[in-house]
Structures are given as C-alpha cells and as structure tokens.
Amino acid sequence: MVKKEAPKIQTERLVLRRREEKDIPNMLKMFNNDEVREFLGVNPPRDEHSMLEMVRNRTETKWTVALKDTDEFIGDVMIPEIAEGYLGEIGYRFMREHWGDGFAYEAVSAVIEHSKSTLNLKRLSATIDNKNIGSKKLIEKLGFTLVAVLPESNLLGRVTDVAYYTRII
C-alpha cells in the first residue's frame, strides 16, 4: 500500500511540500532554539535521529514550509489529527529568524483553504500555550475565535494554561 503524503501547495512566496532529509539541518536549528522550544511540548526532539524519524513519518497533512526561491526549510504546518472527517487541529512551528515576516500567516492560510477544499473539513481548532502571544495574535488574525482558556492543562505533555481556539471553514 502506498503511503499518502502531503500534496504540494504553492503560495506567493512559499512552497508547502512533504518533509525531506535535506530539511534536517534547519529542523535541528529550529527545534534547538530556546524561544521556539518554550512553547512546544515537554520533550521536543533535539537530535538528528529524531529529525530523521519526523521526516520519515510523512502523512498527507504534514507539510514542510519552504521559501519558494530557494526551497529552504523555514518551518512546518500540520493537521496531526482529524476527528470524524469534520474537525482538524492545526499546528505550526517556524524558525525564530522568520517570525514576523508573514510567512506563518501565508502558510497557515493555505492549509486552511486546503482543509476546506480538499479535505472537506468543516471546522479547525488550535490549542496554544496561553503565554504565546504571537501565536494567539496569528490565529485570531486568521479568523479563529477563543473558546476558552483551560488552566493547568496538558499541552503535549507539559502542564500550562492552554488557549483553545476554533474556526468554521
């Protein structure tokens, strides 16, 4: 059986594509940045072996975000779980040096459109560390509504206050 992989999606400045081994050096750089790690789970990967496992764990809803001109990895966007073909949870991570460039907005917007037009999802959710102001601003700009702040909740194995957002697509 052939494993499904993320389809290529192009935007004005970006290519969203399947993960590849050539992405590993920048993945390592991203995951080893303390500012990026601050909002990830309890044990985000740090080593090349873990990155290789992530690359090999391709699915149809996990994209590398690369610059269109150079195909350089700058982050990723994923929908790790889909419930009953109706609800997907969206997540994203970007290299620190690309925060504030509008790349996250551009990439996540493209995945939202793909979720609606191709995956036929009806709603997306996002769970964000409540202290992650930048991510909360991004998701609100993308039309998500804050449903609740869940105190002392499980965010990928780490206990923190979690902002839960949702959006009809």
Beta-strand pair 87-94/123-129? parallel
Residue 42 in this model has a pLDDT that exceeds 80? no
Instruction: End-to-end CA distance of the chain: give it in Å, rounded.
Output: 31
| Cα–Cα dist 33/68, whole Å | 24
CATH architecture of 9-168: 3-Layer(aba) Sandwich (3.40)
- For 133, counting Cβ atoms within 10 Å of its Cβ (0-12 exposed, 13-18 middle, 19+ buried), the class is exposed
Residues 155-160 have a mean pLDDT of 89
The pTM is what? Answer: 0.94
67 pairs with which residues across the strands?
14
Domain ranges of the chain: 9-168
Any idea of the CA torsion for 101, 105, 106, 107, to the nearest 10 degrees?
110
Indicate whether 165 pLDDT > 90: yes
Confidence tier at 68 by pLDDT (50, 70, 90): very high
